[in-house]
Amino acid sequence: MDSQSGQAQAAPPNSDALNFDILPELLGYQLRRAQLRMFNDFAGAMADVSITPGQFGVLVLIEANPGSSQSALARAIGIERSTMVAVIDTLEGRGLVERRASKVDRRSNALVLSEAGAAMMEKLRPIVAGHEDRIAGNLSSAERRQLIDLLTRLPDGPQTK
Secondary structure class of 101 (helix, strand, coil): strand
The Cα–Cα gap between 92 and 98 comes to 6
H/E stretch holding 35: helix 27-45
**126 in contact with a copy of itself (CB under 8 A):** no
Closest CA to 110 of 71, 148, 56: 71
62, with CB counted inside 10 A (0-12, 13-18, 19+), is: buried
Site string for a copy of itself, 82-121 (x = CB under 8 A): ----------x--x--x-x-xxxx--x-x-xxxxx-x---
State which of positions 128-147 bind a copy of itself (CB under 8 A): 128, 131-132, 134-139, 143-144, 146-147
State which of positions 66-85 bind a copy of itself (CB under 8 A): 66-69, 71-73, 75-79
**At closest approach, how far in Å is the CB of 94 from a copy of itself?**
11
Site string for a copy of itself, 13-52 (x = CB under 8 A): x-x--xxxxxxxxxxxxxxxxxxxxx-xxxxxx-------
